[in-house]
Amino acid sequence: MVDATELPYIAALPKVELHVHLETSLRLRRLLQRCDPDRPLIGQAHLVSDPSRFAGYDRLRRLRYAERANRLPDFAYTRANIAAITAELIAEASRQAVRHIEVRVGGQRAFSVLGVRGMLEAMADGAGEARRLGLSYGTIVTVIRERGPEEADRIIADAVAASDCAVVGVDLAGDEENYPAGLFSAPIARARDAGLGITVHAGEFAGPAGVWAAVYQLGAARIGHGIRAIEDPALMERLCERGVALEICPTSNVRLGLVPAMSAHPVGTFLKQGVPVTINSDDPVLLGTTLTGELACIAQAHRLGAESLVNLQVTAARAAFLPAGERGSLERAVRLKT
């Protein structure tokens, strides 16, 4: 009998990735260094505080600062390079039997150098790789809370106008503690009215109140992370009733000090209580994650068998920002005879 927690089984499992950031500067750096291995690295990483001394959102910020210390020149942000890193991310997913991927982007530099429209067009060019490899693809545009509702509104207006660039959703991310969901009601409503899917990073660095607000004030169909919903049984019930899926990114939660160990991750309780859960890789280059690896960690730590692993993919297929017919086909594609 096959051991469902073994890597070869999980690697071959048809999968859905809903929460992965393009992480433009990191992927661009890797691309440039591959093309020019002798490129001198001039940086000031030593001036960045040690991320391990911080937890939560502060640690994430410092991890990113440290990685970005060797700042890339603006000329690295070309359409060809953005298309190349998008295609590379899709090819990595395809090698892990991913059947549908939604890639999110919110990089301030890329948006300022190429413009929102230019960036989304470049990603759409790279997404041609998905058609070639036989998986479906969508772009999610991330707006950052601490940059304020006016910037969110401008970016979302451009995202709505870019329906020809495979934009399927809008994501709200950033400092959830100091910039609550209610500030973004108007821009997010604009995205929702235009038919885009709404996902909100919440219940990650702050408590369950942010998840309630994301669902009821912003109409979020999915929650990025949402792990602190575990503190509120009424909220968990509501997530079940409304079918709001949590985009769980296990290594990210452990690395940022939000969960002490994989075995202590609340995902096991969510699954037992019927909360819709999906597993995702978040920031593969920054965190060294893969979707296969994330599923393997969770399967081992929480003793998930083949049926649970397939069910995670079915939940993700149902939560995908795709038209209903395509969601149905995706669901059939990820159901395996076990």
Q: Catalytic one among 92, 102, 176, 204?
A: 204
User: Please, which residue, 102 or 282, has the CB nearer to Zn ion?
Assistant: 282
Minimum distance of Zn ion from residue 251's CB (angstroms): 12
Strands across the sheet containing 277-279: 15-21, 98-105, 136-144, 167-173, 197-202, 222-225, 245-248, 277-279
Minimum distance of Zn ion from residue 193's CB (angstroms): 24
- Contact assessment for residue 176 and residue 208, using Cβ atoms and an 8 Å cutoff: no
User: Please, which residue, 282 or 294, has the CB nearer to Zn ion?
Assistant: 282
150 included as an active-site residue: no
Residues 213-232 that bind Zn ion (CB under 5 A): none
User: Please, which residue, 5 or 228, has the CB nearer to Zn ion?
Assistant: 228
Per-residue mark of binding to Zn ion, 162-191 (x: CB under 5 A) = ------------------------------
Minimum distance of Zn ion from residue 275's CB (angstroms): 19
User: Please, which residue, 109 or 117, has the CB nearer to Zn ion?
Assistant: 109
End-to-end Cα, the chain, rounded Å: 10
Minimum distance of Zn ion from residue 21's CB (angstroms): 6
Minimum distance of Zn ion from residue 101's CB (angstroms): 14
User: Please, which residue, 176 or 282, has the CB nearer to Zn ion?
Assistant: 282
Minimum distance of Zn ion from residue 23's CB (angstroms): 10
Per-residue mark of binding to Zn ion, 49-78 (x: CB under 5 A) = ------------------------------
Buried b (16+ CB within 10 A) or exposed e, 44-64: eeeebeebeebeebbbbbbbb
User: Please, which residue, 226 or 276, has the CB nearer to Zn ion?
Assistant: 226
Residues 269-288 that bind Zn ion (CB under 5 A): 282
Q: CA of 25: how far to CAs of 67, 105, 229, 289, in Å?
A: 9, 11, 32, 17
User: Please, which residue, 4 or 287, has the CB nearer to Zn ion?
Assistant: 287
Minimum distance of Zn ion from residue 321's CB (angstroms): 15
Q: How many residues line the site for Zn ion (CB under 5 A)?
A: 1
Which residues are catalytically annotated? 204
Give residues in contact with Zn ion (CB under 5 A): 282
